[in-house]
Structure 1
Amino acid sequence: MPGKIAAPIGASWRGKQCWKALAMADFLFIHGSWHGAWCWHKVVPRVEAAGHRAVAIDLPGRGRSPAVPIFVSLGAMVDAAERALVQGRKTTLVVHSRNGIVASTLAERAPDRIARIIYVASFMLPTGKRVLDYLPDGHSMLSDKVEVSRATLSDRLDPGAYREALYADCSDDDVALARSLLVREPSRPALTRLKLTPDRYGRVPRAYVRLTQDRAVSLPLQDRLLNETPVDRVESIAASHSAYFSRPDELARTIVELARA
């Protein structure tokens, strides 16, 4: 197993006292491909109920941040995330799936404003790499289900693959919500090679949450990413790619616990 494996979260949690043991922290939740801030709607209130500040943002090109995909660069996404950081306090970034590249680049840009990055089945890439270098993922159900438009520099997942690839353990209501809100993803960021340095990105603490039943960012790919970029803590949740829908309690507890490390 790559990385440092901590004791199971459940072993260290003893009711509400442990849930509230962490002094108030600031969390910024960053969604993955095709999604928006809405995908964290179960997790954010649970983190807030534990006494923390939690904000989920829409990256450019979706939700309350409309933009034409062809004009959305990785830099534009990082700008949006940076604007959401709390002034005068360090923020813990929680990032899902493809947009791990946003959190990593933000940490390189503003390391003194980031308390920690928690990657959730996310593309945690080393410097010089781009998302495209890891695709296709031969173990992923997305491999032949993503349609890319060269004209608009955007991509979309075949709606017929939504449940199987992203929401295998989610309720019908969760899948219906996603179907109504998923949008095209700007492709330019996935083509951008990261520029990360030990003196900046390298000094920001990192943790990783493996989703062991993930059919989108496969477990072999998650473990490859962990082998290439060291982290302080690794936790695992038996969930599909969308643990924020299917395991919100466990995911929220895990995130808060990792922020204490």
Structure 2
Amino acid sequence: MQPTFVLVHGAFANSFSFAPLQAELGLLGHRSVAVDLPGHGFAATYPRAYQAPQDLEGLAAPGAIKGVTLADNVAHLVGILERAKRNGPVVLVSHSRGGLTATVAANQRPDLIDRIVYVSAWCPVDLDVNAYYAEPEMATADAAGLMAALVGNPAELGLLRVNFRTADPGVLASFKASFLADGTDDEFMVFLNTFQPDENLDTGTPDDRARPDTWGRIPKSYVRLTEDAGIPLAMQDRMIREGDALTPENPYDVHTLAGSHLKWLVDPAPAARVLGDIAALLPAES
């Protein structure tokens, strides 16, 4: 039976970023669903102050994603997985911060997932995700643009707000280096304008790490992105090692794509082929 790919976006992103990948998957004969986590997509907040001419003081105001938790994300994703599972096998694919939601969903409902796939995504095992940022593998990560474009005090706003519509050339250059250094300037600006300004603050607790008795039962794949400056290759490889150590009887099936954090979404044909190969690993009776 044909599987359904359920695609989970990363921070500040939404289902729109998966449109080119879904087109490639469709042309290869695959079915897919792109998820908008709570407060994302058409549920996002774009304040008038975000429009030109920008009012940076007015931009430091609450938005719809305030108070959204990782548990909210997981509940939303589980509802989608339940619906998708009615139609056959499910391959859950997450990118970047979306891996946190995918991992907790797998902890809670392994029965809904036939294979879980991380594309340069977080899957905490040994540490909380925030603690990984202090580890040596993250030493080359580039978050300068995000920090420079941060608006307001996250603790006061109850959310992260980043001004992706800044015209500061230094910040834009830093964004490009972080997200899409191997893309053209036009590709970068197009993708940047699909980002939304807000992201929630909740990255989970120690209880939200991968668990061997539930998450560990699901066949899993990891797609490494070789030039990723957001989650460097060294950290991706650490995620793989930790997952394999947690469930040595069920190690990651590992694939590698050349490119930056977003290149696989801008030029999605290679990624679609990799996902097709991963889907072929599902048991014939699934």
TM-score, normalised to structure 2, is 0.76
Alpha-carbon displacement from aligned partner over 1:221-242 (angstroms, at most 9, x marks no partner) = 1111111112331111110001
After superposition, the Cα gap between the structure-2 partners of 1:50 and 1:24, relative to the gap in structure 1 and judged at 3 Å, is: farther
**Equivalent position to 2:184, from 171, 175, 179:** 171
Displacement of 1:155 in angstroms is 2.4
Aligned to 1:36: 14
Displacement of 1:57 in angstroms is 1.2
Matches within 5 A, 1:1-261: 24-66=2-44, 68-85=64-81, 86-88=84-86, 89-126=88-125, 129-136=127-134, 137-142=138-143, 145-146=146-147, 147=150, 149-156=154-161, 159=164, 160=171, 161-183=174-196, 184-188=198-202, 190-193=203-206, 194-230=208-244, 231-261=251-281
Runs of 5+ in structure 2 lacking a partner?
A: 45-62, 165-170, 245-250, 282-286
Instruction: Let me know the Cα RMSD of the aligned residues.
Output: 2.0
Alpha-carbon displacement from aligned partner over 1:156-205 (angstroms, at most 9, x marks no partner) = 556423211001122334322233231221111x2433154322111011
After superposition, the Cα gap between the structure-2 partners of 1:90 and 1:104, relative to the gap in structure 1 and judged at 3 Å, is: same
Runs of 5+ in structure 1 lacking a partner?
A: 1-22
Alpha-carbon displacement from aligned partner over 1:69-90 (angstroms, at most 9, x marks no partner) = 3311111111121222214233
Q: Whose Rg is larger? A: 2
After superposition, the Cα gap between the structure-2 partners of 1:223 and 1:142, relative to the gap in structure 1 and judged at 3 Å, is: same
TM-score, normalised to structure 1, is 0.83
Separation of aligned partners in 1, 2:183 and 2:78: 31
Separation of aligned partners in 2, 1:195 and 1:213: 26
Check whether the contact 2:2–2:89 (CA below 8 A) recurs between aligned residues. no
Q: Which moved more, 1:159-168 or 1:107-116?
A: 159-168
